[in-house]
Amino acid sequence: MAALVLLAAFLVVSIVRIARRPAEPEPTPEATQTPETVVITPEPTPTPEVVKPASFAFPYEVKEYAAEPDNTSGYKTSWGTEVREGYVTPTFGYNEISIDTGGEGVGLESGSVYRDGIPFINGTTITVRFNAYGSIARNIRVAAVIADANELYTETPFAITTENQVYEMSFKCNRDTIWNGRIAFQVGYDGPHSVDNNTVVLSHIRITSSAPEQGVRINQLGYLTYGQKRCTFPYNCGDGFDVINADTNENVYTGAIVYGVNDETTGENNYYGDFSAVTQPGSYYIQAQTGVTSPVFVISESPYAALDDSLLRMISLQRCGVSLDSSWAGDLAHAECHTGEANAWQTQIYKDVSGGWHDAGDYGRYVKTGAKAASDLLWAYIFNPAFCTDAAAGPDSGNGVPDVLDEARFELEWMLKMQSDYKGVYTKAVTPSFAEFIDPAEDHQNMILIDPESTSTATFVGTMATASLVYREIDPDFADRCLQAAKVADEFLDDHPENVVVLNPESVSAGAYLDDNDQEVRFYAKAALYAATGDKRYLEGAKQLYSAAPANASGLSWQTQGAYGKFILLAAGNLQSDDADFYNTMLSSLESEANGLLSRVDSNSYNSSLYDYGWGSNGKIAENGMILSMAYRMTGDMRYQQAAVEQVNYLLGKNCLNICFVSGFGNYYPHHVHSRIASARGVELHGALVGGSDMFREDPVMQGMPWNTPAAKFYSDTLESFSTNEITVYWNSAFIALLSAVTR
């Protein structure tokens, strides 16, 4: 009878992809949408030498970025000219203004160059500092003006010479705040000697405040010594910017502020500056011409070392079925949880499925998302074994195996338990309802197994086959177990070519994770099995799936894993000799997918790869960065790698919200992540990448946002905003893989 129930479930096909979580009764909200389609309801040690994974080869490795910043293309001055008498003809550069002037007039004010939009904030002191010289010795004047009223605020005259010298004017703002102040350099009539054409050269004009706005958007953790380095200005902050050594106060680089871009997703007119020429390790900050600054950041060979470890440790903190020791888990240590046998829905089958990771802010365990996260950790190691140390201060550090592989194996061992006697893989192990905000060890609900689906089975196959390649030189027996399990599960897929989708029973509240199209994940499964075995039957299966729809070879989410398959075909196995045409097809497909992302990255000054922002947008950012870096590894085109680095920068603070999206890191970061255990303990969970902006208003907090909120600004650092501030293992894992891909 049980077998008949399971087999009936296999035949159900869903045609609608829905949100990742169903509605949950108060006071423990999760996601909100309900499916429309009716389907069946059932301590650190020295790092040892790392063994590289078997059979992977990349034509290009991470290398230096040699290009100098372009301070010409995209530059447009923000200064204007006013002429009352005579003539003033300026030539604007990002750090110098050369002004030809002459003719009759009534005074210096007869001709000027000026900059509006300078706030004169009550109680602050404004300083105008500049270099100047003339073709003749003459007078000029600097005036502060209330632009909207054309009213003089204050002014200071200067006698300049033919030698370049530094000048300075300061004034105290002791009136009501003026938001549209003007700074004008008056260079008009200065008596008979100025009638004939003469030239005034102004350079390094800097307008600063005693209370500067910290508005320049940067990677708040810092930048690698190598590679492109950019900052973003959320509005017009002048013509140029300086990079200043925070320890010595020395200006080490001056560059142009370029490319004003009106971006609907942010509601901003953004600009950026490139300071790739700064490679010396140290602490720095950015200061724009109009005085807007950035937080202090570092340039380093390894600015993300602590972040790398914390991102991985957060996944370790999601471990289920075991006790977490305070020696590494700290305030989030707890006793073992969810260890009882799980009952396969509506059967008499009971299985030990202890282990694996709690998926997110709840305590459910899902094969689709867990396998995706395990794949990411495997790929982090494949990309860059040297990145993966055995010293992340986690539960298995110091055992001679890279910690990312220890963590991936913890999930893989659980996934092996989730394979049913019918070759397919159970979809999830969950309790009947989302737990209250309590410790996991206090959640004593019965465990339920939900029937196998094709997506969960296919992602199991792809991940297990990839694991067999990675562990081949580390633990051959475990590698064989993974490969055999993948082969058996693939037989289930062959026996069930339809898309098998199983909804939660009415009495079960758990993450939905439904997938209306399993073809991309099936592509990954066939590709990985071919790479692991060399068996051309699997290659033919992958080719058939690609031929049916080229999009099946795209994506890195838990739903669309085709790019894993595409890349494993290119980087592992013998595809180039077995089928050169298909190898070239896969290479072209990878370039095409990366080019689509590159187009978006290049079209906005935050260099985000997203056109819209949905649930888990930050995870998507990390996945897009992985695809871009994959394209670099196979083509050597540095544009892809730099775009991948920009996705790191976005996640770590160079975004319109000015927030580092990883809790516990950067100058501004989430403090109230949606995590049951962190909330129950009243502590912060550090090292968690939150979901990020979600324009689709999928929780009550987002539903309360103003109607005109730009898409990229739908975010709230609150526990209740589960659609923007929840955490998951598969967002963290994608970020780990991206960091591995862009570092050397």
Convert the pLDDT of each residue in 572-597 to its tens digit: 978 999 999 999 999 999 999 999 99
Question: 194 Cβ partners below 8 Å, 6+ apart?
Answer: 101, 102, 136, 138
Q: Which residues pair with 75 in a beta bridge?
A: 258
Question: For residue 14, is pLDDT > 70?
Answer: no
pLDDT score recorded for residue 166: 98
pLDDT digit string (tens) for 366-391? 999 999 999 999 999 999 999 999 99
CB 739 within 8 A of CB 304: yes
Distance of CA 176 to the CA centre of its chain: 41
| Residues across the chain | 744
Answer whether residue 67 shows pLDDT above 90.
no
When pLDDT is averaged across residues 327-348 and rounded to a whole number, the result is: 95
Side-chain half-sphere CA neighbours of 366 within 13 A: 26
556 three-class SS:
coil
For 370-382, b/e burial (b = at least 16 CB within 10 A) is bbbbbbbbbbbbb
pTM check: above 0.75: yes
Q: Is 398 exposed, middle or buried (0-12, 13-18, 19+ CB in 10 A)?
A: middle
Question: Is the domain 80-209 a CATH 1.10.3470.10 member?
Answer: no
| pLDDT at position 48 over 90 | no
Is the model's pLDDT at 6 over the cut of 80?
A: no
> HSE (CB half, 13 Å, CA atoms) of 695?
15
Q: What is the pLDDT of residues 433-475, one digit of tens each?
A: 988 899 999 999 999 999 999 999 999 999 999 999 999 999 9
pLDDT over 80 (residue 149):
yes
Chain-wide mean pLDDT for the chain? 92
Q: What's the mean pLDDT in 423-437? A: 93
Backbone angles phi, psi at 554, to 5 degrees: -130, 160
What is the average per-residue pLDDT within 404-416? 98
The third-level CATH classification (topology) of the domain covering 2-65+304-742 is Glycosyltransferase (1.50.10)
Q: What's the pLDDT score for residue 717?
A: 98
Residue 617's identity, in one-letter code, is S
Interval 514-538: pLDDT, tens? 999 999 999 999 999 999 999 999 9
CB distance 643 to 601 below 8 Å:
yes
Q: In this predicted structure, what is the pLDDT of residue 8?
A: 38
Could you state, in order of their start, the residue ranges of all structural domains in the chain?
2-65+304-742, 80-209, 223-300
Alpha-carbon distances, residue 390 vs 44, 49, 377, 406 (angstroms): 8, 10, 14, 9
Return the half-sphere exposure (C-beta side, CA atoms, 13 A cut-off) of residue 249.
0
Q: What is the pLDDT of residue 227?
A: 87
What is the reported pLDDT for 19? 35
pLDDT value at 663 more than 90 = yes
Beta-bridge partners for 186: 112, 141
Secondary structure of 16-53 as H, E, C letters = CCCCCCCCCCCCCCCCCCCCCCCCCCCCCCCCCCCCCC
Quote the pLDDT of residue 10.
Answer: 37
Q: Do residues 597 and 641 make contact, with C-beta atoms less than 8 angstroms apart?
A: no
Instruction: Answer whether residue 43 shows pLDDT above 80.
Output: no
Q: For residue 47, what are the CA distances in angstroms to 182, 391, 395, 403, 736?
A: 58, 6, 15, 10, 18
Which helix (H) or strand (E) segment is 567 a member of?
Answer: helix 562-571
Alpha helices by DSSP H, listed for 689-728, are 700-703, 722-725
- Cβ-proximal residues to 169 (8 Å cutoff; 6+ apart), any chain: 127, 128, 142, 156, 158
What is the pLDDT at residue 50? Answer: 52
Is residue 2's pLDDT more than 70? no
Q: Is residue 261 scored above 80 in pLDDT? A: yes
Calculate mean pLDDT across residues 15-34.
Answer: 35
Average pLDDT over residues 555-571: 97
Contact 326, 337 (CB under 8 A): no
Token pair, residue 26, equals: 């108060």
* Nearest Cα to Cα of residue 407 among 366, 456, 367, 356: 356
Q: pLDDT for 68-100, tens place per residue?
A: 899 999 999 999 999 999 999 999 999 999 999
Q: What confidence tier does 697 reach under pLDDT thresholds 50, 70, 90?
A: very high
Alpha-carbon gap, residue 623 to 615, rounded angstroms: 14
What is the percentage of the chain residues whose pLDDT exceeds 70? 93
Beta strands at 240-245 and 268-274: parallel, antiparallel or unpaired: unpaired
Measure the CA angle with vertex 369, ends 673 and 439; round to 5°.
45
pLDDT recorded at residue 447:
94
Sole residue written with tokens 């260890």: 339
Buried residues in 260-279 as b, exposed as e (16+ CB within 10 A) = bbebebbebebbbbbbbebe
Rg of the chain on CA atoms, in Å: 30
Q: Is the pLDDT of residue 137 over 50?
A: yes
- The model's confidence at residue 42, banded by pLDDT at 50, 70 and 90, is very low
pLDDT at 4: 36
DSSP tag of 551: G
Q: How far apart are CA 520 and CA 37, in angstroms?
A: 21
Residue 40 has pLDDT above 60, yes or no: no
* Predicted confidence (pLDDT) at residue 11 exceeds the cutoff of 70: no
Residue range 270-290: mean pLDDT, rounded: 96
Q: pLDDT of 612-626, one tens digit each?
A: 999 999 999 999 999
665 close to 659: Cβ distance less than 8 angstroms = no
How confident is the model at residue 63, as a pLDDT?
Answer: 82
Q: State residue 511's pLDDT score.
A: 85
Superfamily of domain 223-300: Immunoglobulins (2.60.40.10)
674: closest CA among 734, 735, 622, 715?
715
